Every structure is written in structure tokens, then in C-alpha cells.
Amino acid sequence: MKISASYWMFEGGLEGKKPIAEAMTEAKELGFDAIELCVASEGVLTCRTTQKQCEEILATARNTGIEISGVASGESWGSSPTANDPAVREKIIDFTKDALQVTKWLGTDAYLFVPGAVDVFFLPDAEVIPYDVCYDRAKEAVGQLVETAEKLGVVIAIENVWNKFLISPLEMRDFIDSFNSKMVGSYFDVGNVMLTGYPDQWIRILGTRIKRVHIKDFKKSVGTAEGFVDLLEGDVDFQAVRKALAETGYDGYVTAEMIPFAPGLPQRTAEAMKKIFR
């Protein structure tokens, strides 16, 4: 497996202000094999980034000696595919189609997608969507994106997040399978399932549906977002995670998504990723 760093992990990354070339250089110097770039409506990489600009980014990566492991986005949190307002739902679909194209231009084949939310834990004023309504709208949203994903050869990689939605591996498996497309898969987040489940169980159930993996650690005794801690300081059984990934035949990128930035965090994360995966 190749270790990768999320662009969001670096200072200014979560705000979309960190120059991509600088993030690539930092990731390379820390010993990462790859970097996961992040697209938003504003910032250094957006849905309006041109093919020429993407080719320049890709050339920079090659010159730096680092790979682009995939593309992530948090755009669905603010413009949810399951929002009550049809205009908001249309907006995020248009954004995502453009983001899938940007992903292709960047020479990679996986785009992290949050298909909706029953609620948003870090936005207390966000609307609450009934679970069954959320499910139907999420299916409609992904269904609208499949044709674009298949045309481009980019997987819509659905991440398990704290959205009170798709909260079991069986449900995530069946949701993915309902599209009957190789271009719909899982972006499995190890730390995000710790509150309600076991990462190795999720991995075995999702199997080859897993197209990318996010690495975080979490202390179950805390039980809130403050429970996300430095790698190897929480309750994730990384030996079990590695064993389960090996059993499913996964040997792709494992990306550290350690956010927000804090001084020394990228360095500590890099060392921990090497201990876990090398």
C-alpha cells in the first residue's frame, strides 16, 4: 500500500489557500508517496479549474516525485444532495459533475463524495432530513452522477461520515450495489466508524467495493469529535485493519486525513503512517 497525505492536513489546506505545489513538496519531504487533493467552490482547486491548469498541477506532481491519490471535497456539507431545496440539490450535482472532470484531468480515478446527510453535527442550524427522505434523495443524486462517472472512468467513492446516514456496513454495501456500476464504490474511513462499529468488519463486508481508504484514529471513551486523536493514540486496531485490507486484496492508497492543521501534526502523522503501513 502507498501512504498518502490529505491536502487538508497542511496549514491553509482546509481553507483552500495552501499552494498545491507547496503542499506536494511538504508531503514528499515527509516521506508520503502521494497526496490527496481537495476541490471546493472557492480556493486553489475548484470546479472551474481548467484542463490546462490540471495538467500543470499533474506536471508539478511528477517533477516533485509524488502521486495524486485522489480528489476529495467537503462541498456536500454546505450544499447537500439531500437538501429540501431543489435548487441546492441541483447546484451540488452540477458542481460534482465538474469536479469529476477535474479529477480525471488530474490523472486519478477516485472522487470522494458525501451523498447527503440526515443532519450535520458541526452545523447546529442545518436542517434535519428524515432518514427515508435522505435515502431516496441520495440515491437520486448518485444516480444523476453515474453516467458522468462512467464516461470519465472516475469512481464516485462514497465516504462513511458522521451524517447519521448509511451507518452500517450492510446498508453501505447495499446502497453501493443498488447502482449496478463499477464507478460507484466506497471511500472507507477507518476512524469514522469507531463510534458505532469495527473498521475490520466494515472492510470485510465492503470488500472490493473499497476504492480508497482514509486513516484517522479515535478514542471511543470521548465519544465526540474531540475523540479524534493523533494516529496510534486512539482505539483503532491498525493491525486488524491491515489484516482485513490484505484479505480483501486492497493494496491501493491509504490517506491520512488528520484535520485541522496543528503545528507538528503533519510530521507526527507521517511517522505514524510509516510505522503502521511500512
Share of the chain above pLDDT 70, in %: 100
Across residues 142-147, what is the average pLDDT?
Answer: 98
So what's the pLDDT on residue 136?
98
So what's the pLDDT on residue 60?
98
pLDDT band at 62 (very low <50, low <70, confident <90, very high): very high
State the CATH architecture for 2-277.
Alpha-Beta Barrel (3.20)
CA distance 29 to 142: 37
So what's the pLDDT on residue 248?
97
Q: What is the value of pTM for the model shown?
A: 0.97
Q: What is the pLDDT of residues 173-203, one digit of tens each?
A: 999 999 999 999 999 999 999 999 999 999 9
CA 222 to chain centre: 23
Average pLDDT, the chain: 97
So what's the pLDDT on residue 169?
98
Cα distances (angstroms) measured from residue 22 to each of 38, 60, 195, 266: 14, 10, 35, 14
Cα distances (angstroms) measured from residue 222 to each of 68, 119, 194, 197, 256: 34, 21, 11, 15, 21
So what's the pLDDT on residue 252?
97
Across residues 41-55, what is the average pLDDT?
Answer: 98
CA distance 9 to 123: 21
- Round the CA-based radius of gyration of the chain to a whole number and report it: 17
Across residues 228-235, what is the average pLDDT?
Answer: 98
